Structure 1
């Protein structure tokens, strides 16, 4: 500020006289001890140090000329070295060209003096020329010059952080440029735009999923209106299918608009949960309620129902009718292709067996609609029979019951199904069969004498058969003239009859008679009891 000469050559270069009265070494020589360090910079009432009582003017931070006399203050003096400066007080030191803070007021007087004058006091006394710089006060930012982090200005990384700190310092000292500020604002705008877009996208996504949640939970399921178009479609429902499975199949076929609507309609309709497996003739684009109602109507069901004890010939006729085929088509297919239908390996087909598939079309409901082939329907029935027979372990059970194989056990079950009328009848009827097959049977000499076997041979269901007619026929299916079991099953036994054949009674039953000619079957253990039942039957039938 005042040149290299200071005031009258009072500068401490190269061993010259110090304004404090001592000699200072430029190469780190002995430092004088100052018992009390004067305060620099932080002067009471704002007066600068180093000026006398009005002899010299001084300049404030704005460059305006001031005089000490305007703000009188008692000169802070220190004995000893302070007097060497004369009445002018402390000589100001020239600013260091490399010190950016040297030209600012109070830059070297920020610390508080040690008033106790001890060497261990903090801060320790320091000689002239080595005073600590005072921390520069932080300037306040203008509202339009808000500091921005590189994250919002498109920067990132350590290099950007360092550049950001340097730029912030320059801006605080007023050295920033307008162009830099504009760049910051531009980058800040882009960053804000990105944030807005991301936030807006998040709101849009949340709104979409919220709408979907509402639709799925509260909104009614999509559904058609009315009873559908004139276009018919057949839908096959497999065994064990539940409401959702049925609904999905109907949706895929174009019958209903959604599986949800079908499930709701099924639950709201009385008997809706009783829909069975099978093929259903429906219409496209039906309301769910109309679809449920039509599926409950037997007229719309394109199924073949095999009843317990039904013979194969009746099943073949029903398949032909449902598939709209010529009479006898399914029976011919069965005779030619039965080996490809998956019958068990233990099934027999000797020359005496009337139908190799008899006993293997298991009772149940099977889909059979126009356009399907007979073999596809028959395969489903055989597969069900094989599954049931395997589940009961017929091979092992047959040996325990004195039979040769599982095939004979199916024959017994078919006889029980044909002659019995109730569950209790089935078990007693099974015992009659096993007792008459025993070599020790001297009552009938191992003859079963069942009318049902002869009726199967003839394709009839007569209850009144003359002894002459029966005794004159020597076919293996005639158990009046042929000992033991017939060559094959005489029908398709149901599960109840199968269980009875596996678990007969053990009461000694040997005879039975339907005394009312229809359903009332009575059993006897001896021939004498049998004759009494026979007389009762004749009385009831008018013989």
Structure 2
């Protein structure tokens, strides 16, 4: 059971409808009660005209009235209606209105159960009820209203009104049944298709004077659907189905079909493609596809998966061609020499860096070196650099080791500036200027010089820390073993522009050069290479083990000693090994 006296089934309603809820539909015409017009409402007992025996409409009177008897034959049964006393003289006009609709609720027995139905119908006192003037009329039709002063207005008689309620048994008609019902009322063929949203034509004489309203619909005859609307609907349906089919086919093709790919090594149109750091194969494939290098990202992913080196592709700039097969692209990108970058290794000399820049930028040999010497003061060196006129290369030690990506706008000067900036920033971060005095050095440049020697002679971080201890111990004024000579082979090789392990020690000692520590005391005028981070940190934090000598007997492991006697034994072992290696 729902609220407001609604029946077993649900019925849509709207809170702004002044007469929402059920209106007393029972499947039969509701018997209308009477109300004295004298202003005293009275509730009464009434028996409806139903085929059920003695169903009672019981209500308790609110005021004491003079009872009157009224008998009416109805379906072979006698009904008693207690009725108020008539007042014809006081309200003479009441007899002109045999029936007037006013909302009133009364109780009735429906289907054996007591329910409340708001019929919306009352009577005025003094109206004889000898015969029902609406017998045989449509029980669900709205009654024609009259212009009696003070009457309740017809709330369903305007175009803006809500549709009148339907009987409980006919609230949820199927569309086809509803069209047939409307067609029967308007004498139209049952197969007419109702057009929605019709307006009220104001024909109050239609359908037995029901105000031109048919089953909650306003307007006249239903409009037929135009052919244009059907055509538009068909086009929309075809478009939706066709679009879905296209995307479905494209999805299946991408999911299960072979990825689109070009053939060959590409056309004669070069393009530089930059792969960012952290990019996966999928992102690489999309970048290559956007650049026109590969036909699809999936083709590149598949080719990289089939190549043993496919997962080792490094970020950087690659010189490629457009419309290359995915396999040929992977071959190029897995070859480090094809990568459009310059990688400066830890300890690399400037001469090697200059040659690499010329080669990568396709410049004549010596171009970058000339710019470095000519524009040294304009490349961003710190103020404490180049403090010795005997320095062989003003930028030595200031081309920071790392990888530098090349673009079409890269020039020797732009690369040198970037390298110097990186080195200067790193030295500032490590606090090189403040550490120089603590380490017993004269200036920050000597810190970089020591780091370059450590990087050139050592092989790993542990070696670097012991190697820096060797340097600091040999530089001490109390060193009477080497007399403050470092005697590093790397300095001799730098002065000679070579990288030889086996050279004549006598010749090395006789070779006079500011950088040859076999001949001169102390540090060379400047760095002999570009130290990496490990060598820098080891220089700033030496081992303090008291090491004075070192030698690599097998060329792999460096052995450190504190005394000269231990060192001589290792040197003899090293020389014997070298003779056996050379077949002597």
Q: TM-score range by the shorter chain?
A: 0.5 to 0.7
- Indicate which of 158, 173, 176 corresponds to 2:212: 176
Task: Please give the alpha-carbon distance, in whole angstroms, between the structure 2 residues aligned to 1:492 and 1:138.
Answer: 103
- Between the aligned partners of 2:195 and 2:444, the Cα distance in structure 1 is 83
SS of 1:464's equivalent?
coil
Corresponding residue for residue 316 of structure 1: 354
Matched, 1:138 2:170: no
State the Cα deviation string for residues 353-372 of structure 1 (Å, max 9, x = none).
22222123333444458885
Superposed CA offset, 1:181-212 (max 9, x none): 24x536x8799879969995995799489749
Cα RMSD, aligned residues only: 5.3
1:38 aligned residue? 70
Alignment of 1:112-261 (within 5 A): 127-129=125-127, 137-139=139-141, 143=180, 145=182, 152-153=196-197, 173=209, 176=212, 180-182=219-221, 185=223, 207=244, 211=248, 214=251, 218=255, 223-237=260-274, 240-243=277-280, 244-261=282-299
The structure with the largest alpha-carbon Rg is 1
CA distance in 1, matches of 2:251, 2:332: 31
- What is the CA-CA distance between 1:331 and the residue it aligns to? 0.8
CA shift, 1:459, in A, is 1.4
Aligned pair count? 448
Supply the distance in 1 between the matched residues of 2:79 and 2:317 (Cα, whole angstroms).
115
In structure 2, the residue matched to 1:292 is 330
Cα 1:142–1:459, aligned 2, differ >3 Å: closer, same or farther? closer
CA-to-aligned-CA distance 1:88-115 (integer Å, 9 cap, x gap): xxxxx9973xx5968xxx99xx9999xx
Q: CA deviation at 1:532?
A: 3.1
1:414 and 1:489 in contact (8 A); partners too: yes
Compare the two structures and name the one with the higher helix fraction: 1
| 1:531 and 2:568 are equivalent in the alignment | yes
User: How much has 1:469 moved relative to structure 2?
Assistant: 5.4
Inter-partner Cα distance in structure 2 for 1:238 and 1:386? 27
Instruction: Tell me by how many angstroms 1:505 deviates.
Output: 2.0
Taking structure 1 as the reference length, the TM-score comes to: 0.64
Counterpart in 1 of 2:373?
Answer: 335
Aligned twin of 1:413: 451
- Contact 1:225 1:287 (8 Å CA) reproduced: yes
Superposed displacement of residue 230, structure 1: 2.9
Deviation at 1:327, TM superposition (A): 1.4
Alignment partner, residue 88 of structure 1: none
With 232-241 and 524-533 compared, the bigger mean Cα shift is at 232-241
Q: Which SS does the other structure have where 1:185 is aligned?
A: coil
- 1:271-420 pair list within 5 angstroms: 271-298=309-336, 300-343=338-381, 347-348=385-386, 350-367=388-405, 372-386=410-424, 388-389=426-427, 392-395=430-433, 398=436, 400-403=438-441, 406-420=444-458
**Match of residue 511 from structure 1:** 549
- Answer yes or no: is the 8 Å Cα contact 1:247–1:262 preserved in 2: yes
Q: Partner of 1:442: helix, strand, or coil?
A: coil
Q: How far is the alpha carbon of 1:490 from its aligned partner?
A: 0.4
2:163 alignment counterpart: none
Please say if residues 153 and 191 of structure 1, whose CA atoms lie closer than 8 Å, have aligned partners that are also in contact: no
Gaps of 5+ in 1: 1-23, 46-72, 83-92, 114-122, 156-162
**2:464 aligned to which of 407, 412, 426:** 426
Report the counterpart of residue 189 of structure 2 in structure 1: none
Trace 1:475-490 onto structure 2 (pairs within 5 A): 475-490=513-528
